[in-house]
Amino acid sequence: MPRYRVIIHGRNFRLNLEGRWEKMGFYTPRLADAPDALQAVHTALEEFRQSEKYRALMNGTLNSDDDPPTLCGEDVEEVESETGDGEGAAGLTLYRESDNENGEALQ
């Protein structure tokens, strides 16, 4: 089965960073084995939603029910089937959504 790299883009996460509540976004790459790119996005998103990293992120958000955070899959690319074997999941590259036009990311 083909393997795909999917960039997950999270938006509208209201997080407390450096003592201030700010609207944050993030990017994180994930790998998914799937028959096609569309199914790979679905698989990557579902696996990320089940991860400890996502649960911790959601526990730290201060979003209201009518303004939830969102996730989408972007930049889907088929990769070699061995890509990522034995590696842990990648971290999150956070950015302030107000700074997004400037391309400034937090590491």
**pLDDT higher than threshold 60 for residue 88:** yes
**CA–CA gap between residue 30 and residue 21 (Å, rounded):** 27
| pTM score above 0.85 | no
pLDDT band at 87 (very low <50, low <70, confident <90, very high): low
DSSP strand E in 1-107: where? 3-17, 20-33, 70-79, 93-96
CB 70 within 8 A of CB 8: no
Query: pLDDT of 2-25, one tens digit each?
Result: 999 999 999 999 998 888 889 999
The per-residue pLDDT for 39 is: 97
The two tokens of residue 107 are: 């590491």
| Inter-CA distances, 89 with 37, 55, 65, 103, Å | 20, 14, 29, 24
Query: pLDDT of 37-56, one tens digit each?
Result: 999 999 999 999 999 999 99
The two tokens of residue 16 are: 């407390």
